[in-house]
Amino acid sequence: MNAARLPAGRPRRRDVLAGGLAALAAASSPSAEAAETEALRRLAAAKGLLYGTAISAGQIDSDPAFVRLVLAQAGLVVPENDMKWRDINLGAPGHDDHRPGDTVAGFAVESGLALRGHNLLWYFRTPPWFGALPSRAEQRRAVIDRIRAMVGRYRGIIHSWDVVNEPIEPKDGRPDGLRQAVFLDALGPGYLDLAYRTAREADSKALLVVNEYDIVLDAPGQEARRTALLGLLHRMQSAGTPVDAVGIEAHLRALGGPPLSPARLRRFLADIAGLGLTIQITELDVSDEFAPADIATRDRLVADMYRRFLDAALDEPAVKMVVTWGLSDRHSWIVRRETNPVRWRRDELPSRPLPFDAELRAKPAFTAMAEAFAHAPVRRPG
């Protein structure tokens, strides 16, 4: 990779760690509370778990206090949007802008953080020109080129790649449960095999992940998604398609969502583990759109969901990674009100979905995560 030049003056991990957490407190007084707490990455690592957060090139370039917090807390980062196809190439085939992705990758390498790749194919962030390509052969070519370019560029740096993001949608009515969307329309269900094989050829070491949402709660729609996902994994394995891990997004709700059944979740995770696959929690956050305005009450409800979800999920030793979709409420897609209006509060209050607040102070959700890691059984790192 031609790692982008990193801006001077940005905090470096060795400085943060050299001064210990006291340096974090001194460097950014609002973080004092965070500095008194033990780092999530350490608590996770003690159990064989990798803890990380989503981040963006923009945050790396412009928010040193947040970067310090990431360096203190996280052992892994994942670009929230900076490697998505549509985000790096709105224009035409071959005109990728790798600068934001390189900034995140350069930051990870320089800081000694593991890096997830997110994502190679996602129906929701595919450039409009892809669907307009004149033939199936050209669409196939574009998929292969995209995967070779990205996986090749970051070979040796990426811990895990979300190769196909959100391939399941039982509501689309196909017997195989696959989402009836752009790649399936263009190339048929074989697009999954093509994508994973191409990724493996381009990097034999990175873990290849199927990343999916709405699969942890006790609701008929989520049960259907779990069944369809297990079916897909089984078919991939029977066909010799290289797949190593399942990514569980876990965008949860503090109140008002379907219930969490720990027993059912454990069973599902055990089913995945039974296929010999690793499990990664890839996008954990807890939205509070149905929780009362009072901050103490809201934070307690959010923390409670973090605790109940992690306590159940971490019982499964095949779970090797926990990633929150951001670290502080200062930078969250829910707080920014992007994409997903059902997660937005109807009053004017900002949401509080992450472990640290917008001033980078640890919240009850942080304590819940720290305790869940502390209680988790030890596993072999993966």
Binding region for ligand XIL (CB under 6 A): 80-81, 165, 211, 213, 249, 283, 333, 338-339
Q: Which two tokens stand for residue 137?
A: 């052969």
Minimum CB–partner distance for residue 76 and ligand XIL (Å): 16
Nearest 5°: CA angle at 281, between 279 and 286?
155
Q: Which two tokens stand for residue 218?
A: 């006790």
Letter string b/e over residues 23-62, b meaning 16 or more CB atoms within 10 A of that residue's CB: bbbebbeebbbbbebebbbebbeebbbbbbbbbbbebbbe
Minimum CB–partner distance for residue 52 and ligand XIL (Å): 14
Minimum CB–partner distance for residue 339 and ligand XIL (Å): 4
Tokens 């509370």 identify what position? 33
Taking the C-alpha atoms of residue 332 and residue 80, their distance in angstroms, rounded to an integer, is 10
Q: Which of 203, 283 has the CB closer to ligand XIL?
A: 283
Taking the C-alpha atoms of residue 7 and residue 316, their distance in angstroms, rounded to an integer, is 41
- Which residue of this chain has its Cβ atom nearest to ligand XIL in the complex? 333
Residues 6+ apart with CB under 8 A from 216: 222, 248, 250, 252, 260, 265, 268, 309, 313
Residues 6+ apart with CB under 8 A from 165: 118, 119, 120, 121, 122, 123, 124, 211
Minimum CB–partner distance for residue 325 and ligand XIL (Å): 6
Q: Which of 124, 141 has the CB closer to ligand XIL?
A: 124
Q: Which of 106, 326 has the CB closer to ligand XIL?
A: 326
Minimum CB–partner distance for residue 367 and ligand XIL (Å): 24
CB atoms within 10 A of CB 79: 26
Minimum CB–partner distance for residue 100 and ligand XIL (Å): 13
CB atoms within 10 A of CB 172: 14
